[in-house]
A = this chain, B = another copy of it.
């Protein structure tokens, strides 16, 4: 072996398979591996996906290994004729493929324990380049491989996430060699209600590209995630610099921040409600259950979320929520009075402390000049003493995009308004909010 193996500073990730280049399957391994490696202090420079083509596979392996310290490849280890990782690795290392007796025995045992005989096609999974080592796969038949390609440490893992993930933890993590001179620290602060441009304006020169820690933003469906990344010498200064920038980001974004880390907005709302012993109900029209679905995605949400109503038709708005027919006649289903009546109907019928209602025009049809597609009303009502509403917050929005986009923004905005009510936050406009200039707009 070469002397003093170098630290794993930079990594590349390779996903192998026609199912990806033909667009038949969505690759989730690259994201998962990137997140794990980043958390472990390794910088991921590149993801590459190639199909079941041995020449391209060899070329790519060789290229990536020439500029990365660590390469994680997934896929191509199955028993079929398209599974080319073993031979591609052998070619990239100018090595022969040999049959590994232990691996073959393990394969036969795997099938025997399931009362089956190993199909002969699976025998190829016991092959490896002579100089490579085999990595046991407790969850499947394909062993992984580890080899040096040039100076790069290459791990070839199976494609199926359930097999790949435990093998990454068992084999790659213990083998990682941190760079003693370099520390990477990453934090994420997520905000809702501000557009990405507004966030960027508030962060200002914090986002200069020559800073360390470096601050970047990603916007997705109404949530803006600010990533802060320190990359430099380890030591107390590193954490101090990071904390300093984090504090400045918090100051800049204020109450729009709902999470530091991976917590979703829905989770933040549920945890806040649980902490304050508040119960929640919902009444949805155009979102059709999307808000309830988002709230119940949170494990333990039953401690705060009671349930709700999907009143897609006007009949059901009346029959299930008691929305007065006058409101539907005079103002229509997509109006502030209707949203408020829906929320109150849900709140009273369920006994919840907080109710949120959504009614709008998701499109593509149903719009008009006065209420174009994307018009959505959201109302949050809060119980006061003796069960009467003590507070109602009803707003009008105009969301861009197609049906799915309008519905996504509506759910997100309802969560943001719910959070505001739960946390009793100061008022502030939300992205997409527009004045309700319709004749029926009331207090």
Per the bound structure, the CA–CA distance linking A188 and B20 in Å amounts to: 14
B296 with A289: CB separation less than 8 A: yes
Bound complex: CA A287 to CA B296 (Å): 7
Q: Is the CB of A38 within 8 A of B22?
A: yes
Query: Which residues 18-49 of A sit at the B interface, judged by CB distance below 8 A?
Result: 18-28, 30-38, 44-49
Of B201, B319, B320, which is within 8 A of A119 by CB? B201
Assembled-state Cα–Cα distance A146/B18 (Å): 27
Given A31-B26, A403-B299, A21 and B47 contact (CB-CB distance below 8 Å): yes
Q: Are B48 and A22 within 8 A (Cβ)?
A: no
- Contact status A309-B312, CB under 8 Å: no
Interface residue? A272 (CB, 8 A): no
Determine which residue in A28, A308, A315 has the highest number of CB atoms from chain B within 10 A of its CB, and name it.
A308
Assess whether B288 is in contact with A288, with CB atoms less than 8 Å apart: no
A2 CB-CB contact with B under 8 Å: no
A307 within 8 A of B: yes
Q: Does A388 contact B (CB under 8 A)?
A: no
A288 near B297: Cβ-Cβ < 8 Å: yes
**What are 25 residue pairs bridging A and B, where the CB atoms are less than 8 Å apart in the complex?**
A19-B218, A20-B30, A21-B46, A22-B216, A23-B34, A23-B38, A23-B44, A25-B218, A26-B26, A27-B30, A30-B49, A45-B51, A80-B216, A139-B401, A162-B405, A288-B295, A289-B290, A289-B308, A290-B293, A292-B312, A293-B293, A306-B312, A306-B315, A308-B312, A309-B310
Copies of this chain, tallied across the complex: 2
Are A44 and B31 in contact, CB atoms less than 8 angstroms apart?
no
Do A22 and B46 touch across chains, with their CB atoms under 8 A apart? no
What residues of B have a CB within 8 angstroms of the CB of A313 in the complex?
A: 302, 306-307
Do A21 and B35 touch across chains, with their CB atoms under 8 A apart? Answer: no
Check: A305 CB closer than 8 A to any chain B CB. Answer: yes
A15 to B218, CA, bound (A): 14
A365 close to chain B: CB less than 8 A: yes
Task: List chain B residues, Cβ under 8 A from A401.
Answer: 139, 162
Tell me if B22 and A34 are in contact (CB < 8 A): yes
CB-CB under 8 A from A300, the residues of chain B are 365
CB contact list, A194-238 vs B, under 8 A: 196-198, 200-201, 207-209, 216-220, 225, 227, 229
Most B C-beta atoms less than 10 A away, residue of A26, A49, A225, A282: A49
Beyond the given A162-B401, A287-B296, A299-B363, please list 11 additional residue pairs across the A-B interface where CB-CB is below 8 A.
A19-B218, A21-B38, A24-B227, A114-B398, A119-B198, A160-B220, A288-B289, A288-B301, A293-B407, A297-B404, A307-B311
A423 within 8 A of B: no
User: Does A248 make an interface contact (CB < 8 A)?
Assistant: no
Contact B22 A35 (CB under 8 A): yes
A434 sits at the interface (CB 8 A): yes
Residues of B within 8 A of A186 (CB): 22
